[in-house]
Chain A
Amino acid sequence: MSNHDEPDLKPTPGARATALLKRPDVARTAVFTIIWTAIFVVLGLVFYPKWMPTIMSTDMKAMERIMVAFTVISAPIAGLVMGIATQAVTNRHKGDTPPPDGPAIRTNGPVVVVWSLVSGIFALVAVVWGIAELNTMANAATTDAKEAIHVQVIGSQWVWSFKYVDQGVESDKLILPIDRPVEFDVTSEDVNHSFWPVQLGVKVDANKLQTTTVHTVPNKLGAIDVKCAELCGLYHAYMETSGEVVTEDNFKNWVTANGGHNA
């Protein structure tokens, strides 16, 4: 609402920004926003990596990168949301009668536009990042196809078994050589299961009479937990086995010891 008694002098954008920041509620909101943003950044940088299991493949690394990066990128937005909310809580009204009327702000066009743009850009970053990762994974699966070892994974109520097609070995433990691409061809003998070698960061459902495929490259020696991630009946919780990423030599020895032949 303009006041017609005074000349219509519009303040410059810079002056308006300065005046805005000097308002006590805005200043408080800014402080709370910074504090909350810092909390979310610490959560992303420190706690997520701490909670994740040992990273034993490129896919697991990509997964952890996404968790950390998205938390850090979204931290300022989440921080602003919590900053505004915290500021409002500090400015609360107590008592049994309603508070005095506030300013009658019906809308604010630029704020709505900027807010939508920022959340749109954030969504775009997430989408582009995700598609780039998908692309990397798909390319890796294609280029690695020749040298990959093929493991047929069979889920049945409630055990996993593994057939090393090229080596002619069957096992109930998942033994993989380090730094060699592996393609899991997964199927089920009965209901749906979901093959989850936890530390490798990949997962795919096992369906009866279908073969689903997932690819990864183990790049760290150590133990793997293999679990089922799809409720598959009575003993779903116990449908797990162990595995190990071993050196190439140890893998060959293991194949020979189990009656297989090294290609």
Chain B
Amino acid sequence: MTTLHNTSTHSRPIPNPAKSLITKLNMGTGTVVGILFALGAYYALRPAADAANFYNQQNKALLAGMFAWSIGFLVGIGAFIGPFRWLIGKDLTAEEQLYLAGDGQGIKRYFKYCTDHKVVGIQYLVGVMAMLGVGGTMAMMIRTSLAIPGGHFVGATIYNSLVGLHGITMIIAMIIVATGPFGNYIMPIMIGARDMAFPRLNALSWWVLFTAIPVLCSAWFLGGIPTGWTAYAPLSVQAGPGMNAFIATIIIFAFSTAVAGMNITATVVAMRAKGMKWNRVPIFVIGATMSVALAIPAFPTFMLAMVQTATDRVFNTGFYDANVGGSGWLYAHLFWIMGHPEVYVILLPGVAILMEIAPVFVRKPLFSFNAAVMGFAGIAGLSVLVWAHHMYISGWTPTLNGPFMVTTEMISVPTGLLFLVLLGTIWRGKPWMKLPMLALFAVIWNLLIGGITGIYLSDVPADNYLHGSMYVTAHFHYTLMGAALTGAVAGLAYWFPKMTGRMLNERAGYISFWFTQIGFQILFLGMFIAGAEGQPRRVVSFAAMYKYQNMISTGGAYLVGTGFIILLWAVIHSWRKGDIAPQNPWGAKTLEWTVPYPVPLENFDELPVITSDPYGYGKGN
């Protein structure tokens, strides 16, 4: 990207508003206040052991405790100091605001309510890696349990909980895996902004999300969840106390996504550098913005579905209870109206990262920026009209299966455009086989398999057979893990030098890549076959005829697990001791590579002025 100004750094005095309360608040005070709030709410509402409606009362007390924890934590970390001052007609002082930006506070600022988008980006990165680690560990336990027929490794209760909590942990992690770390750390720099549009909301989005993590973990200590991550009613209404943790997690997470989504969208719409017209915006920014903008209307329906589940459980409202005129189909609709846009919320940023990477590593312009934008927009637009393809066999109005089949299969056209952009960009180029580029080839294969199997599933007669089988599980893992997660790993390898100042260990990166990708193919090939042969998903035990397929799957899963452990080692080792990275190791032309490491507070001394798009590679350009 052409810029008219260079940037340089100069040191600022470190602000120290010693008397202000905000200097004393951090994650520790947040945790203490949060626990006090939680215990207060729980014990205030706790039912007597012989109370009538004991389970309703217990659900109420637990939910109140969980929400009180979240609010208490935010009080304790100082999230409400600014809004409180507004109520009395004041605001934070300039010095306090500068203190909140965390400049010069070293590692402490990562544990504070810090408004710097780069700090929030790192918080998200570490948080996402932790969640992927937990979700991955649960996946390993699931596969270990399925290694042999009969399910002797864990019992049915634990197995069902593992399936559901693996699902929701991974879904949450995957929703934020690209837009969290890279959308916060890199994107504002990419568009030439000094920070996000609403830095305090940015900090809020992370810490709200953070409060959801202990709530989700508490499900284990409350007996787990029996429902899978889809949490279908009426099963979820009759489920035990662990279900409250699931409900509270979703409601808290929906707040976080709404705040983050609006903030990122506002930043991209309003804060772009001078001259950065829409056709000069880097494609990652376009894809990530469409993803978060799609999440803004999607998640409230999930939140609503969970609020209704909660009121069914606490007040017997019967939204989903057929006995009193409710319907489980209502839940399924609300869930999938979120659920299908959600998979594209996950997929779009992953593909957008690869589109950002491809021109840099083949030294050619992005092939057809317009096709890329149309592809993203087409997917985002169609994805809100396809939800009932998850309900073909639910028995709900079979006459509408035809229309939903049409909308679903139309998605293959904009998806085809995304393929065209990637293939057109590498066409006639010499791809530089660094880790990000290797990942691009893996994603082409994985998304192709995931996409084509999706076309079978979108066809009603085929879905009549395949729905609810392991085939579906394999299909969506190809799109979400094979494509979106691999894309995010490519982004990590690509932006690691900018986010940590060091290069990601190349050898370990390659070894991890081959372990995860080869293991992945073995793992889900076995699952495709078992599914085509008729093995249902989410089963703790299966017939002997699926023995070898499942054994193969489990073997593949261990390879994937090994690969991710190696990647984790590479990230930790490289972050501490890796080779110092040059300012622009890949020779890229987007703005984030024009600033040094550590990126100064507010990023640019003088804001850049943009005169072309960032893809001016190639002869004659």
Q: What residues of chain A have their CB less than 8 Å away from a CB belonging to chain B?
A: 1, 25, 48, 51-53, 59-60, 62-63, 66-67, 70-71, 74, 78, 81-82, 84-85, 88-89, 91-95, 98-108, 111-112, 115-116, 118-120, 122-123, 126-127, 129-131, 133-134, 137, 186, 190-192, 194, 196, 198, 201-205, 207-210, 212-213, 225, 227-238
Q: Are B235 and A231 in contact (CB under 8 A)?
A: yes
User: Once the chains bind, are A192 and B235 in contact (CB under 8 Å)?
Assistant: yes
- Is there a chain A Cβ closer than 8 Å to B455's Cβ? yes
Let me know if B465 and A60 touch, CB within 8 A.
yes
How many A-B residue pairs lie within 8 Å, measured between CB atoms?
A: 280
Q: A102-B429, A104-B364, A123-B409 are in contact. Are A115 and B459 (CB under 8 A)?
A: no
- Asked if B441 is at the interface (CB within 8 A of a chain A CB), the reply is yes
Please indicate the chain B residues that have their CB under 8 angstroms from the CB of A123 in the complex.
409-410, 412-413
Nearest-neighbor residue (CB-CB) of B616 within chain A: A104
Point out the residues of chain B lying under 8 angstroms from A133, CB to CB: 459-461
Are B618 and A89 in touch, CB under 8 angstroms? no
The chain B residue with its CB closest to the CB of A229 is B468
Please report the C-alpha to C-alpha distance between residue A52 and residue B405 in the assembled complex, in whole angstroms.
23
Question: Which of B157, B370, B395, B538 has a CB less than 8 Å from the CB of A205?
Answer: B395
Residue of B nearest to A48 (CB): B532
Q: Does B431 contact A74, Cβ atoms closer than 8 Å?
A: no
The segment from B121-129, B243-251, B494-502, B539-547 that touches chain A is B539-547
The stretch among B173-181, B299-307, B415-423, B551-559 that forms the contact with chain A is B415-423
Question: Contact at A115–B416, with CB atoms within 8 Å?
Answer: yes
Which residue of the partner chain, among B395, B406, B529, contacts A51 with CB atoms under 8 Å? B529
Contact B424–A111 (Cβ < 8 Å): yes
**In whole angstroms, what is the CA distance A135 to B543 when docked?**
35
**A108 vs chain B, min Cβ distance (A):** 7
Residues in B whose Cβ lies below 8 Å from that of A227: 534, 536
**In the complex, chain B residues whose CB is within 8 Å of the CB of A212:** 394-395
B156 near A: Cβ within 8 Å?
A: yes
Per-residue CB contact flags for chain B residues 456-468 toward chain A (1 = under 8 Å, else 0) read 1011111011011
Q: Which residue of A lies closest to B588 (CB)?
A: A98
Residues of B close to A234: CB separation below 8 A: 156-157, 160, 226
Contacting pair B235 A233 (CB below 8 A): yes
B114-154, CB under 8 A of A: which get 1 and which 0? 00000000000000000000000000000000000001000
Q: Closest 5 interchain pairs by CB?
A: A212-B395, A104-B618, A229-B468, A119-B416, A237-B539
Complexed CA–CA distance, A227 and B530 (Å): 14
In the bound complex, CA of A102 to CA of B455 (Å): 35
> By the criterion CB–CB under 8 Å, are A198 and B232 in contact?
no
Question: Are B395 and A186 in contact, CB atoms less than 8 angstroms apart?
Answer: yes
Q: Which residue of B lies closest to A122 (CB)?
A: B412
Enumerate chain B residues within 8 angstroms of A126, measured Cβ to Cβ: 409, 412, 455, 458-459
Contact B460 A203 (CB under 8 A): no
Q: Which residues of B contact A115 (CB under 8 A)?
A: 416-417, 420
| Cα–Cα, bound, A79→B318 (Å) | 52
List chain A residues, Cβ under 8 A from B618. 101-105
Alpha-carbon distance A82/B423, docked complex (angstroms): 9
A189 to chain B, nearest CB (A): 11
Chain A residues positioned under 8 Å from B620 (CB to CB):
1, 103-104
**B321 CB to closest chain A CB, in angstroms?**
8
In whole angstroms, what is the CA distance A74 to B393 when docked? 25
For the A-B complex with A60-B465, A93-B430, A237-B539 known, give 5 more contacts whose Cβ atoms are closer than 8 Å. Answer: A88-B426, A95-B432, A99-B431, A101-B619, A212-B395
Interface hit among B39-47, B191-199, B322-330: B322-330
A residues less than 8 Å from B238 (CB atoms): 190-191
Q: Range of interface residues on chain B?
A: 35 or more
Quote the shortest CB–CB distance from B103 to chain A (angstroms).
34
How distant is B162 from chain A, measured CB to nearest CB, in Å?
Answer: 12
A residues near B242, Cβ cutoff 8 Å: none
Residue in chain B with minimal CB distance to A129: B459
With A104-B618, A192-B232 as contacts: A208 and B328 at CB distance below 8 Å: yes
Which residue of B156, B365, B412, B464 is within 8 Å of A105 (Cβ)?
Answer: B365
Q: When the two chains form their complex, are residues B370 and A107 in contact, meaning their CB atoms are under 8 A apart?
A: yes
- Please tell me if the beta carbons of A104 and B534 are within 8 angstroms of each other in the complex: no
Q: Of A48, A127, A129, which is within 8 A of B406 by CB?
A: A127
**Across the interface, which residues of B come within 8 angstroms of A94, CB to CB?**
433
Contact between chains at A207 and B395 (CB < 8 Å): yes
Question: In the complex the two chains form, what is the Cα distance from A182 to B48 in whole Å?
Answer: 53
Interface status of B401 (Cβ within 8 A of chain A)? yes
18 contacts between A and B (CB under 8 A): A59-B464, A63-B461, A63-B464, A67-B532, A88-B426, A101-B364, A104-B365, A119-B412, A122-B412, A126-B455, A127-B406, A194-B468, A202-B465, A204-B394, A207-B329, A210-B327, A237-B151, A237-B539
CB <8 Å contact, B465 and A203: yes
How does the 8 Å CB contact mask read for B290-328 relative to A, with 1 for contact and 0 for none? 000000000000000000000000000000001100011
Cα A54 to Cα B167 in complex, Å, equals 32
Q: Mark the stretch among B7-15, B30-38, B444-452 that contacts chain A.
A: B444-452
Asked if A225 and B534 make an inter-chain contact with CB atoms under 8 angstroms apart, the answer reads yes
B90-121 residues with Cβ-Cβ distance < 8 A to A are none
Most B C-beta atoms less than 10 A away, residue of A62, A130, A186:
A130
Residue with the highest number of chain A CB atoms closer than 10 Å, among B151, B322, B362, B417 = B362
Q: How far is the CB of A109 from chain B (nearest CB, A)?
A: 9
Q: How far is the CB of B454 from chain A (nearest CB, A)?
A: 11
Q: Is B475 engaged at the interface, CB distance under 8 Å to the other chain?
A: no
Q: What is the chain A residue whose CB lies nearest that of B363?
A: A101
B151: A residues at CB distance < 8 A: 237
Q: Are A106 and B235 in contact (CB under 8 A)?
A: no
A231 with B228: CB separation less than 8 A: yes
Is B587 interfacial (CB 8 A cutoff)?
yes
Contacts of A93 in B (CB 8 A): 430-433
Q: Closest CB of chain A to B548's CB: distance in Å?
A: 12
Residues of B within 8 A of A190 (CB): 234, 238
Let me know if B433 and A84 touch, CB within 8 A: no
Does any Cβ of A come within 8 Å of B289's Cβ? no
The answer to whether B232 touches A84, judged by C-beta atoms less than 8 angstroms apart, is no
Interface: B2 (CB within 8 A): no
* Residues A203 and B467 in contact, CB atoms below 8 Å apart: yes
Residues of A within 8 A of B455 (CB): 70, 74, 126
- Which chain B residues border A198 with CB–CB below 8 Å? 534
